[in-house]
């Protein structure tokens, strides 16, 4: 299914000098990279594809996957109503109100600004 979506963007043609790496093989190596996080050097050794080729086509395949799947699975809310729906779903799932997302696995040090900031929010009802 995924191959059918990205094959037009990742397919290459054979030349008189060499055969291209098939779109299926490109996708397989890219998915293996995503799953195992192996170094390109190890992928090259295991798949017998040159390191230069892997380092060139993996970003191309990742870009093609992103372009094809972003509207379906990676859609960013564009209206205030969509953001409110995301916040409500986050509150329903995790019991954390007024939150739209979270960052996991990283500790981020925030530094308070030197000048106090006053935020005024005006809420009106129709």
CA atoms within 13 A on the CB side of 70: 8
- pLDDT, tens only, 80-114: 898 888 889 888 988 888 877 776 655 667 676 67
Q: Which residue has the tokens 């995790």?
A: 94
3-state secondary structure of 109: coil
Confidence of residue 72 (pLDDT cuts 50, 70, 90): confident
Instruction: Give the integer Cα–Cα distance in Å for 5 and 22.
Output: 15
CB 74 within 8 A of CB 88: no
CB 41 within 8 A of CB 51: yes
- pLDDT, tens only, 38-60: 999 999 999 999 999 999 999 99
CB 24 within 8 A of CB 3: yes
């Amino acid at each position: 299914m995924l191959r059918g979506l990205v094959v037009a963007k990742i397919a290459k043609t054979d030349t008189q000098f060499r055969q291209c790496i098939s779109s299926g093989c490109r996708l397989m190596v890219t998915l293996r990279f995503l799953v195992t996080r192996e170094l390109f050097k190890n992928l090259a050794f295991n798949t017998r594809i040159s390191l230069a080729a892997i380092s060139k086509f993996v970003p191309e395949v990742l870009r093609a996957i992103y372009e094809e799947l972003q509207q379906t699975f990676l859609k960013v809310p564009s209206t205030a109503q969509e953001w409110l729906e995301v916040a409500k779903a986050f509150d329903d799932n995790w019991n954390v109100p007024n939150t739209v997302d979270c960052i996991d696995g990283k500790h981020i040090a925030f530094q308070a600004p030197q000048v106090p900031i006053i935020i005024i929010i005006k809420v009106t009802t129709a």
